[in-house]
């Protein structure tokens, strides 16, 4: 019986995909920082997109197509509620989504996207996408982590990061992607695979299975999240998720809709316990159209010299509540979180401050606090769309605080990190941050983004490190169109850090980072 349980999932997966028919729609991930996520979230706040699909990133292109399909269906009557300027802005935004994911929309039968003869193609080889970032850093130290950038370490002087994204769909069985990359600094050059993998899918069962390297982001935060972000180098994972929201069977279907994701990975060998396993699951629940809940759990176990969990006893340890591992009696490391998102639509009918508002919070617990977590971490935030009814002008504010026990463990001394950087929130433990962001986005033209954050790190130290950080960014779409170069996006940015009590000492530091990012679709 134990052997059957141990291999049931593997046997089921093999049989499932052997029996896949011609209606499978595999596709690759939409990159974590792709503009479509922001577009869908904004449309959801305006009640033009399904909120059930917000909270788990990345998603596949076919899943994004299902999200856009819901936008098309919801937007058929939006001109009744929006003014002319807002309507024109939203039409452009939706048209851009349709154009970006036209192939996938045709595949799932969306008529508005069908501009070519014939049905969807079985074999698709996409043109490569090139992304190059050149950064000059004037640092008061030898290096600095470029936070929420896949573990990119900036050195004093010139730095370059180049990525070439390739992907293809083969028949109706699987999709494959590969993103080789190069990271260059004045004293180091590293060639690596930034992202990549294969995905198998059978939408008749509403599921996808992915194998490869990727970053993930769980939760509503824009500046950070408690469990999963792109702050560290991407993980090599086996990942399962549904394609579109599902309901429970029979009478339970009236409870609402769900989205789920599960993954398993293995950490690097250069840590206190090499090659530890890390698994996680995330469940999103949408009971009604303006309220959404999310729950997540991370489990670290095994590794060199440490007994790993077997298949039979894994699921009891991966429950939402802490097991006996809490408080340091066992070697497993558990972290949990729960979040809530509240969508308030058409605020402008009562107050002319914004057309819509999303309020959210995330709370988390670490098993180092004991079986019942008390030293919680928290995030509070708000997202305002079309501030003062100016189309494309959005504002965000977010506060985060993490206790000193966060991302630590008595056995796994390297903590909740991958290649030396936190997998969760960028500020790490014993820290707090408040961040403000103003965005002005004109689709097909340009985007301006300004973020100010105030951070305090090492709150339990005599010298609390204080960081005031300002980032200004300007991006131009089709920036080289006048030179007959299509599909080129150029972003320039400047970042300044004013640091007191640097590294919790009496020192101070000033960092200047200026860069340009060029994206080209061939």
Question: pLDDT tens digits for 432-487?
Answer: 999 999 999 988 778 999 999 999 999 999 999 999 999 999 998 876 677 777 78
Q: How many helices (H) and strands (E) does the chain have?
A: 6, 25
Mean pLDDT (the chain, rounded): 86
Q: Which of 146-155, 201-210, 283-292, 492-501 has the lowest mean pLDDT?
A: 201-210
Q: With contact defined as beta carbons under 8 Å apart, do 221 and 424 qualify?
A: no
Determine the pLDDT at residue 5. Answer: 45
Range with top average pLDDT, 135-139, 203-207, 298-302: 135-139
Q: Which of 69-73, 97-101, 118-122, 343-347 has the lowest mean pLDDT?
A: 118-122
Predicted TM-score of the model (pTM): 0.90
Q: Name the strand (E) or helix (H) holding 16.
A: helix 2-18
The HSE-up count of residue 300 (CA atoms within 13 Å, CB side) is: 31
Is residue 208, in this structure, part of any structural domain at all? yes
Distance from C-alpha of 114 to C-alpha of 112, rounded to nearest angstrom: 6
- Within 8 A by CB and 6+ apart from 429, the residues are 402, 403, 404, 405, 406, 407, 408
Is residue 2, in this structure, part of any structural domain at all? no
Query: Mean pLDDT over residues 268-294, rounded?
Result: 95
Angle of CA points 74, 80, 84, to nearest 5°: 105
Which structural domain range is residue 475 located in? 22-521
Q: Which of 90-94, 167-171, 297-301 has the lowest mean pLDDT?
A: 167-171
Confidence band (pLDDT; 50, 70, 90) for 357?
very high
Is residue 5, in this structure, part of any structural domain at all? no
Q: With contact defined as beta carbons under 8 Å apart, do 465 and 458 qualify?
A: yes
pLDDT over threshold 90, residue 4: no
Q: With contact defined as beta carbons under 8 Å apart, do 227 and 188 qualify?
A: no
**Alpha helix ranges (H) inside 19-119:** 35-45, 61-74, 84-100, 102-107
Residue 18's SS3 state is helix
Is residue 4, in this structure, part of any structural domain at all? no
Environment class of residue 119 by beta-carbon count within 10 Å: exposed (0-12), middle (13-18) or buried (19+)?
Answer: exposed
Give the chain's domain count: 1
Distance from C-alpha of 479 to C-alpha of 516, rounded to nearest angstrom: 13
Strand 143-146, strand 446-457: pairing: unpaired
pLDDT over threshold 90, residue 14: no
**Alpha helix ranges (H) inside 101-137:** 102-107
Confidence band (pLDDT; 50, 70, 90) for 12?
very low
Strand ranges (DSSP E) for 251-374?
257-266, 277-288, 291-301, 333-345, 356-366
pLDDT over threshold 90, residue 401: yes
Distance from C-alpha of 149 to C-alpha of 232, rounded to nearest angstrom: 7
Distance from C-alpha of 296 to C-alpha of 394, rounded to nearest angstrom: 28
Q: Per the structure block, which two tokens stand in for 199?
A: 């995905």
Write the pLDDT tens digit of every residue in 288-311.
999 999 999 999 988 898 877 766
Is residue 59, in this structure, part of any structural domain at all? yes
The interaxial angle of helices 84-100 and 35-45, nearest 10 deg, is 140
Percent of the chain topping pLDDT 90: 61
Determine the pLDDT at residue 519. Answer: 92
Q: Which of 63-67, 162-166, 194-198, 314-318 has the lowest mean pLDDT?
A: 314-318
Is residue 16, in this structure, part of any structural domain at all? no
Query: Mean pLDDT over residues 196-223, rounded?
Result: 90
Is residue 442, in this structure, part of any structural domain at all? yes
DSSP string, 307-323: PPPPHHHHHHHTSSS--
Determine the pLDDT at residue 470. Answer: 98
Write the pLDDT tens digit of every residue in 39-66.
999 999 999 999 998 899 999 999 999 9
Residue 448, domain CATH:
2.40.160.130
Is residue 417, in this structure, part of any structural domain at all? yes
pLDDT over threshold 50, residue 20: no
pLDDT over threshold 70, residue 84: no
More confident call, 26 vs 189: 189
Determine the pLDDT at residue 109. Answer: 84
Rg (CA), the chain: 23
> What are residue 185's DSSP bridge partners?
159, 188
pLDDT over threshold 80, residue 74: yes
Write the pLDDT tens digit of every residue in 244-259.
899 998 888 889 999 9
Q: Which of 26-30, 171-175, 356-360, 406-410 has the lowest mean pLDDT?
A: 171-175
């Amino acid at each position: 019986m134990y052997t059957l349980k141990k291999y049931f999932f593997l046997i089921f997966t093999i049989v499932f995909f052997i029996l896949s028919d011609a209606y499978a729609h595999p596709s690759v991930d939409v990159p974590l920082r792709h503009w479509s996520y922001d577009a869908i979230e904004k449309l959801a706040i305006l009640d033009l997109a399904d909120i059930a699909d917000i909270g788990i990133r990345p998603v596949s292109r076919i899943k994004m197509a299902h999200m856009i399909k819901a936008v098309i269906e919801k937007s058929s009557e939006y001109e009744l509620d929006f003014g002319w300027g807002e309507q024109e802005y939203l039409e452009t935004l939706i048209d851009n989504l349709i154009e970006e994911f036209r192939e996938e929309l045709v595949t799932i039968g969306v008529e508005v996207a069908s501009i070519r003869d014939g049905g969807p193609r079985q074999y698709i080889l996409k043109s490569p996408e090139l992304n190059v970032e050149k950064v000059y850093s004037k640092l008061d130290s030898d290096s600095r982590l470029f936070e929420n950038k896949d573990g990119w370490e900036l050195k004093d002087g010139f730095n370059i990061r180049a990525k070439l994204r390739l992907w293809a769909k083969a028949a109706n069985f699987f999709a494959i992607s590969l993103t080789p990359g190069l990271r260059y600094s004045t004293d180091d050059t590293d060639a690596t695979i930034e992202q990549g993998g294969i995905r198998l899918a059978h939408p008749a069962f509403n599921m996808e299975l992915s194998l490869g390297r990727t970053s993930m982001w769980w939760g509503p935060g824009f500046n950070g999240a408690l469990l999963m972000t792109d702050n560290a180098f991407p993980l090599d994972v086996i990942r399962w998720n549904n394609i579109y929201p599902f309901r429970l069977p029979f009478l339970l279907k009236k409870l609402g809709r769900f989205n789920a994701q599960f993954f398993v990975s293995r950490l690097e060998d250069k840590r206190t316990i090499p090659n530890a396993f890390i698994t996680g699951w995330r469940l999103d629940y949408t009971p009604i159209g303006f309220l959404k809940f999310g729950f997540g759990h991370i489990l670290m176990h095994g590794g060199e010299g440490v007994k790993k969990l077997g298949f039979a006893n894994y699921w009891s340890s991966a429950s939402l509540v802490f097991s006996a591992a809490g408080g340091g009696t066992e070697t497993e490391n558990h972290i949990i979180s729960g979040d809530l998102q509240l969508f308030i639509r058409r605020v402008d009918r009562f107050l002319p401050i914004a057309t819509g508002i999303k309020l959210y919070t995330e709370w988390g617990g670490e098993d180092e606090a004991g079986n019942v977590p008390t030293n919680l971490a928290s995030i509070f935030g708000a997202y305002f769309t079309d501030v003062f009814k100016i189309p494309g002008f959005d504002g965000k504010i977010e506060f985060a605080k993490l206790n000193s026990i966060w991302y630590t463990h008595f056995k796994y001394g390297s903590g909740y990190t991958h290649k030396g950087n936190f997998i969760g929130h960028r500020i790490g433990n014993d820290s707090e941050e408040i961040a403000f962001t103003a965005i002005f986005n004109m689709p097909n033209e340009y985007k301006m983004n300004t973020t100010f954050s105030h951070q305090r790190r090492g709150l339990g130290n005599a010298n609390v490190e204080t960081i005031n950080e300002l980032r200004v960014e300007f991006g131009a779409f089709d920036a080289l169109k006048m030179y007959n170069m299509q599909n080129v996006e150029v972003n320039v940015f400047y970042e300044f850090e004013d640091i007191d009590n640097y590294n919790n000492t009496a020192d101070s530091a000033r960092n200047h980072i200026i860069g340009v990012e060029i994206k080209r679709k061939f």
